[in-house]
Chain A
């Protein structure tokens, strides 16, 4: 229980008036950058970084990590209210969060998301506290083959359980992989699929794709349907905030499962995005109300949010102990560590005890500060839903255009974003699922790199994916998840040959 003692020492560093004030400032700034699309946590943290050079390292990291917590929470707000995910990891939250908000329950959706996010973060930080040294070892076991297996698992868990027709899922995936391939290829170093446009050498930024696909795409669909053209009459009800949080323990199975997936993906380091998608996919399969996912189910919000935050928190551990950042924001903070004169790596825990344990203690306190502040803002954000569509629609267009432009101050990104908007619209009209497309855009190139690195290592033999226990388990698990729906379908067909009619409509609704 050495760790517990260190942690208590950490609390004495974190729980001081200046540090608590820094946390509050960090969280509020974080919520702000999280809510404003195109800013996002990595940019916010890099803007703030120069201000921290004069500070004590521990104060600086507390400020930056609080900002990170705030941004993670803030990112969910736009996903739920406007279907515009600010961070890759909050895409999965839009699937049920947005329908629920449109349904007149934005308060419930937001409070549920924040509550489960806080739970996920808490589990993540507890894991860091007690398993720090063990966890660092696990991450080391991950070579290219294991990385590929983890990504494969994420794809399999989502794709195998998708509600859409399998062939449409495959088409969406393939388009996503093609988009992910644009730009310079890590393994060969050559330029791919730029179609003569010089600027495309940078590849397609995720934010650009998602703002178009979700923000603009949804808008085009909404314009067509009269239903959307009126404001949602949501009552602002403080009590609903607490009721929604109070209802969370009823979904303890989903919470625990998602937290476990999140921690696992955060450590391994598949990252928060893969974690949230995987958690959502698995929840859809195993939840009793799985077939209603995509229409505003509570567990459809809980699962991705819990996993996202559990992974986001536990991803800080590989950064500190190994020097590999688990997310873009962690990468910026790592740059900060170096500038403050600290070297991330195994010795940080030995050399800089005050720093490490002060940070870990601040994760507990910072998350509590964050969730309190963010729950207080729920009614304010929910009120945004009462603004009539005719006003909110142009605002969404402006937000998407500015957001896409600010990614790298490029006009091309704006054009691409609008192009993705049309793609998003077509996908919806033709019942193609968007989720596999987004998943492939976000982790497609990483999966490809890992696969080809493995092939280089094994000189072209697929045996490398069965070379040790770890990678074999991951690959077999992935294949099992992929085949599960087929098997279940067979069993179902055999038992009752005729499918009841209502099921098909539920299936169509599930398409996202």
Chain B
């Protein structure tokens, strides 16, 4: 597979080459591999392919780019591969907060410190979703019912972002929820539509079709302020009409999942700087804005010390939740 695509890409690169970017300290000299830590069609795969397309379209590098999926072990396969490729600046790993979250709660053979952070490029929001015909109008109604009933909360993977948020809801709302892990957010959305669950905390893109189709609706968003209005999703409502959870008495002000970009460890600062610059150029294009809009994410760009600070803060918070739940690996 790789051989064929490399061939096709190098042909296309040969056709379009000729516009070398202005002098930078380090330039790639051979094909670049984008490693998506998710299967084809997943959110992380989509961002890797979106970036690949933009770079190819604007000829931001002469070198061909191939996307490789390494989704095994909830993405651990991709990170382990990145760790094993230490010193190789031709492997760019696309992931989420998994990179620092997973090593905390399961015995995977990597840590985020084995990788070189490049940037966090987009934030995915979380919302609290219920079935369309459920009686709850606000997060308050939901919490009141959950306090007496036996509520089932679905989510993607175990001890991952969805379950962490579920435990935070339990704590903030003084309720007890039964968390049921599924393989993906899409699967969880269908389980809710079928009435097998009471709620889930999917990202906007994972449930937009279900919302529009009238099988489920969001109660609130875990964000400090309402989302940008954008186009209407249903006949009467858009993302901006969804109240924040804090507004409704569920006191979780902010919970987001960053899409992260990494190089393997032991690369030179010049090589890392090249990719930071490359990603900045990608972010400035209209195609990127289009991608962000279509996937209903928030555009951000964290790099260097800011990115570091973000990781440290997130990690501190996660460690607290994980130790309360007894998840920490010894």
Question: Does A133 reach chain B (CB closer than 8 Å)?
Answer: no
Among A452-473, those with CB < 8 Å from B are 453, 456-457, 459
Contact between A184 and B74, CB atoms less than 8 A apart: yes
Please measure, in the bound complex, the distance between the C-alpha atom of A449 and the C-alpha atom of B80, giving whole angstroms: 24
Contact between A201 and B190, CB atoms less than 8 A apart: no
Contact between A343 and B159, CB atoms less than 8 A apart: no
Q: Which of B3, B52, B68, B208 has the most CB of A within 10 A?
A: B208
Known A-B contacts A199-B80, A202-B72, A453-B180; the reply to A47 vs B40 at CB < 8 A is no
Can you list, as one digit per residue, whether each of A17-57 has a CB less than 8 Å from chain B (1) or not (0)?
A: 00000000000000000000011001101110110010000
Which one, B13-21, B106-114, B250-258, B312-320, is touching chain A? B106-114
Please measure, in the bound complex, the distance between the C-alpha atom of A339 and the C-alpha atom of B179, giving whole angstroms: 31
Chain B residues in 8 Å Cβ range of A249: none
Chain B residues in 8 Å Cβ range of A408: 68-70, 72, 77
Can you list, as one digit per residue, whether each of A179-192 has a CB less than 8 Å from chain B (1) or not (0)?
A: 00001111111110
Chain A residues in 8 Å Cβ range of B72: 183-184, 201-203, 205, 408
Known A-B contacts A46-B40, A191-B73, A335-B41; the reply to A186 vs B109 at CB < 8 A is no
Contact between B182 and A186, CB atoms less than 8 A apart: yes
Contact between A43 and B190, CB atoms less than 8 A apart: no
Contact between A201 and B180, CB atoms less than 8 A apart: no
Question: Does B157 reach chain A (CB closer than 8 Å)?
Answer: yes
Known A-B contacts A325-B41, A346-B214; the reply to A190 vs B180 at CB < 8 A is no
Contact between B159 and A189, CB atoms less than 8 A apart: yes
Question: Does A141 reach chain B (CB closer than 8 Å)?
Answer: yes
Contact between A201 and B213, CB atoms less than 8 A apart: no
Which one, B121-129, B191-199, B263-271, is touching chain A? B191-199
Question: Does B210 reach chain A (CB closer than 8 Å)?
Answer: yes
Q: Which of B40, B52, B196 contacts A331 (CB 8 A)?
A: B40
Contact between A189 and B157, CB atoms less than 8 A apart: yes
Contact between B194 and A47, CB atoms less than 8 A apart: no
Residue of A nearest to B209 (CB): A345
Q: Which of A188, A202, A338 contacts B73 (CB 8 A)?
A: A202
Question: Does A233 reach chain B (CB closer than 8 Å)?
Answer: no
Contact between A323 and B186, CB atoms less than 8 A apart: yes
Chain A residues in 8 Å Cβ range of B181: 186-187, 189, 453
Q: Which of A339, A345, A348, A456 has the most CB of B within 10 A?
A: A345
Contact between B40 and A332, CB atoms less than 8 A apart: yes
Contact between A47 and B1, CB atoms less than 8 A apart: yes
Known A-B contacts A53-B53, A140-B190, A409-B2; the reply to A201 vs B76 at CB < 8 A is yes
Contact between B107 and A347, CB atoms less than 8 A apart: no
Residue of B nearest to A408 (CB): B70
Please measure, in the bound complex, the distance between the C-alpha atom of A324 and the C-alpha atom of B178, giving whole angstroms: 23
Please measure, in the bound complex, the distance between the C-alpha atom of A346 and the C-alpha atom of B186, giving whole angstroms: 13
Contact between A338 and B295, CB atoms less than 8 A apart: yes
Can you list, as one digit per residue, whether each of B61-87 has a CB less than 8 Å from chain A (1) or not (0)?
A: 000000111111110110010001000
Please measure, in the bound complex, the distance between the C-alpha atom of A449 and the C-alpha atom of B191, giving whole angstroms: 14
Please measure, in the bound complex, the distance between the C-alpha atom of A459 and the C-alpha atom of B180, giving whole angstroms: 11
Chain B residues in 8 Å Cβ range of A144: 180, 191, 196
Q: Which of A39, A201, A331, A343 contacts B1 (CB 8 A)?
A: A39
Closest Cβ–Cβ distance, residue B295 to chain A (whole Å): 7
Question: Does B189 reach chain A (CB closer than 8 Å)?
Answer: yes
Q: Which of B179, B183, B214 contacts A186 (CB 8 A)?
A: B183
Closest Cβ–Cβ distance, residue A19 to chain B (whole Å): 23
Can you list, as one digit per residue, whether each of A321-358 has a CB less than 8 Å from chain B (1) or not (0)?
A: 01111001001111110110101111110010000000
Question: Does A2 reach chain B (CB closer than 8 Å)?
Answer: no
Question: Does A427 reach chain B (CB closer than 8 Å)?
Answer: no
Contact between B46 and A339, CB atoms less than 8 A apart: yes
Please measure, in the bound complex, the distance between the C-alpha atom of A334 and the C-alpha atom of B190, giving whole angstroms: 15
Residue of B nearest to A141 (CB): B194
Q: Which of B67, B80, B178, B183 contacts A198 (CB 8 A)?
A: B80
Please measure, in the bound complex, the distance between the C-alpha atom of A122 and the C-alpha atom of B3, giving whole angstroms: 35
Contact between B183 and A449, CB atoms less than 8 A apart: yes
Residue of A nearest to B109 (CB): A198
Closest Cβ–Cβ distance, residue A138 to chain B (whole Å): 10
Closest Cβ–Cβ distance, residue A469 to chain B (whole Å): 15
Question: Does A492 reach chain B (CB closer than 8 Å)?
Answer: no
Residue of A nearest to B160 (CB): A189
Residue of A nearest to B52 (CB): A50
Chain B residues in 8 Å Cβ range of A47: 1, 4-5, 8
Please measure, in the bound complex, the distance between the C-alpha atom of A173 and the C-alpha atom of B40, giving whole angstroms: 29
Please measure, in the bound complex, the distance between the C-alpha atom of A203 and the C-alpha atom of B75, giving whole angstroms: 11
Please measure, in the bound complex, the distance between the C-alpha atom of A185 and the C-alpha atom of B108, giving whole angstroms: 12
Chain B residues in 8 Å Cβ range of A140: 190, 193-195
Among A290-332, those with CB < 8 Å from B are 322-325, 328, 331-332
B residues contacting A by CB (< 8 A) are: 1-5, 8, 39-42, 45-46, 49-50, 52-53, 67-74, 76-77, 80, 84, 105-110, 152, 157-160, 163, 178-183, 186-187, 189-191, 193-196, 205, 208-210, 212-215, 294-295
Known: A189-B160, A334-B41, A457-B180. 12 other contacts (CB 8 A): A184-B73, A189-B163, A191-B106, A201-B73, A201-B77, A323-B209, A328-B39, A331-B39, A333-B41, A346-B212, A346-B215, A408-B72
A residues contacting B by CB (< 8 A) are: 38-39, 42-43, 45-47, 49-50, 53, 139-144, 183-191, 198-199, 201-203, 205, 322-325, 328, 331-336, 338-339, 341, 343-348, 351, 406, 408-409, 449, 453, 456-457, 459
List 12 contacting pairs A-B, 8 Å CB cutoff, sorted by A.
A47-B8, A53-B53, A142-B194, A184-B76, A186-B181, A189-B160, A199-B77, A205-B72, A322-B190, A343-B208, A347-B213, A351-B212
